[in-house]
Amino acid sequence: MKSNTVKLGVDRAPQRSLLKALGLTDRELSKPFIGVVNSFTELVPGHMHLRQVVDAVKAGIRDNGGTPFEFSTVAVCDGIAMGHEGMHYSLASRELIADSVEVMARGHALDALVLIPSCDKVVPGMLMAAMRLNLPAIVVSGGPMLPGRFEGSNVTLSTVFEGVGQVHAGKKDEAWLQELEANACPTCGSCAGMFTANSMNCLTEALGMALPGNGTIPAVYSQRLMLAKETGYQIMELYRQNIRPRDIVTKAALQNGVALDMALGCSTNTILHLPAIAGEGDLEWELSLVNDISEKTPQICKLSPASETPLAALHEAGGVSAVLKELLDANLIDGTSMTVSGVTMAERLKNAKVLDHEIIRPQDNPFSQRGGLRVLFGNLAPEGAVIKQGALESQDFVFEGSAKVYDGEVPAAEAIRNQEIKPGDVVVIRYEGPKGGPGMREMLGPTATLAGMGLDADVALITDGRFSGASRGLSIGHVSPEAALGGDIALLKDGDKIRIDIGKGLLEWEVTPEEKAKRQEELAAQSLKSDNFNPELRKGYLGRYSYFVQSASKGAALRHVKEE
């Protein structure tokens, strides 16, 4: 028992004195110490109910012989942070979350952890900490939000962002938008589509790090509290059996995660988070793995924003377990991987079944033959770029257009709102990468505005930043190397011809070797004047983050400090 370090023996009388100051009895001190990591904050609607979830987890821990200790982490709501300085901090918060869990767990010699995230960067941040610490650990999220209803249809947060575009295009007025915003987010929970938060919570099941139902049981259902109690109970079983995250999240489990990702059409942000999680466990990760698995894994479920179907429908159709069972039966995942249930994936899925074949299609009638994501390579992205091909009408789409180049999201968003972007344009937003941003801001505002204007199929957008899971259309992110690291995206000029071939996985620009060399010399000679290079964004935490962060192709994870 690791916690014996702080509670056994004569020399630990001072520590026991402090623990008793918390009101702990000798009986409670004799039990394993279980950290309950609560990411509750009054700023995030996805987390507003987590105190209730935490209480249920604690009840499960106590019921099975443990002593729970609750502590917190930061959490950024991407929707609220979108479109202003706050978005610089969203992805960067992932590393803070992992670090804070490490500090608390090591500082207090905890024996095991229950990790309670809900939104965006909190889920991968906690999984990174679990892999780093390798203490018995299990995840239970706050669950997804139910969709709103407006004008007879399901609506979500992304509907509101696209509504902004409709107002700018003169299709709707502000009174209509105000009514929409009042109905789009009706409950607590992570936003009601296959956006980043729900993508990661679903993938946590595929990785084996959460009990069945974690990704899809709606936040407001009592089943969510039952799941939390069972999770608290199960962490004690993991502790007694000494089953740890690195026993569960193996290379095979990561491949299972990618396969589920392809089958569901998840957010492109998963391709940042999975390699970061792998890195904490010293597991190899190659970006090309995504394409290898996508080529053989059909997309059998298509949810908002790629369709009008909300995430709650997946729960009613059998949940993640039903999708995984379809993949297992088709030999597309490894059933021997261990799970936090204490059994293999195959054993856990034994009784899973599809309850609605309109929501989860059979293998012989998929929404598309290839998976939901694709990594593009080419002379504009030699280290890769990512697109959600599952949100396109055709996965063999070819687009050729002329570049309109913007140094940062702000001028690009202004140009879109002013209707300066026309069909056939390729909007290029650069210096928004992990280092250049810093923080790799999401671009839901620009993509949603284009969609609202009806231009999402006629205009491409490429960036070294990233996109919200709510984005759709020809939105290509994570272009690597990024502009701030000298990537060729920094050399683009207005009018350059760019070709996107989804079927062949290519992202290229037409340029002669002589012209490219000339532009490289020009770039080296000029000083960057973008607003994104405001010195204020290089101070404090963002400054440290920018110094240590790696390429998006490596998950935008921080490089490790090497011994001298």
Residues taking part in catalysis: 468
* DSSP states of 337-388: -B-TTSSBHHHHTTT---S-TTTS--TTS-SBSS-S-EEEEETTEEEEEEE-
Q: How far is residue 102's CA from residue 98's CA, in Å, rounded to a whole number?
A: 6
CB 325 within 8 A of CB 300: no
Q: How far is residue 196's CA from residue 121's CA, in Å, rounded to a whole number?
A: 8
Cβ atoms within 10 Å of 53's Cβ, excluding its own: 26
Q: How far is residue 46's CA from residue 76's CA, in Å, rounded to a whole number?
A: 10
CB 166 within 8 A of CB 129: no
CB 497 within 8 A of CB 402: yes
Pick from 358, 510, 366: nearest CA to 426: 510
CA 547 to chain centre: 23
Q: How far is residue 462's CA from residue 157's CA, in Å, rounded to a whole number?
A: 23
Q: State the sign of the Cα–Cα–Cα–Cα dihedral 513, 519, 520, 522.
A: positive
Helix (H) or strand (E) holding 447: helix 444-452
Q: How far is residue 369's CA from residue 128's CA, in Å, rounded to a whole number?
A: 32
CB 216 within 8 A of CB 320: yes
Q: How far is residue 408's CA from residue 393's CA, in Å, rounded to a whole number?
A: 28
